[in-house]
Amino acid sequence: MATNCLHQIAHAIMLKNEEYLRLINPTRCTKDTSCAYYRSNSPMLYARGFTNFQRRMFPDQYRRFMEICVGEWGRNPYFERRRGARLIPISEQEFILKVLKIVGVTEEMQFDSYEQAINWYD
Listed residue (13, 86, 12) closest to 47, CA to CA: 86
Statement to judge: residues 77 and 24 lie in one domain: no
What's the pLDDT tens digit per position in 13-23?
A: 777 887 877 77
Half-sphere exposure of 22 (CA within 13 A, CB side): 0
- Return the pLDDT at 19: 80
- Return the pLDDT at 2: 63
Statement to judge: residues 50 and 109 lie in one domain: yes
Specify the pTM: 0.77
Statement to judge: residues 62 and 24 lie in one domain: no
**Quick check: helix, strand or coil at residue 45?**
strand
Helix (H) and strand (E) counts in the chain? 5, 2
Residue 122 lies in a domain: no
What's the pLDDT tens digit per position in 64-122?
A: 999 999 999 999 999 999 999 999 999 999 999 999 999 999 999 999 999 999 887 76
Above 60 in pLDDT, residue 63?
yes
What range does the domain containing 19 cover?
Answer: 1-42
What's the pLDDT tens digit per position in 25-54?
A: 766 777 677 777 777 788 999 999 999 999
Give strand ranges (E) for 1-105: 44-48
Q: Which residues contact 62 (CB under 8 A, 6 or more apart)?
A: 53, 54, 103
- Return the pLDDT at 26: 65
Statement to judge: residues 48 and 22 lie in one domain: no
- Return the pLDDT at 122: 67
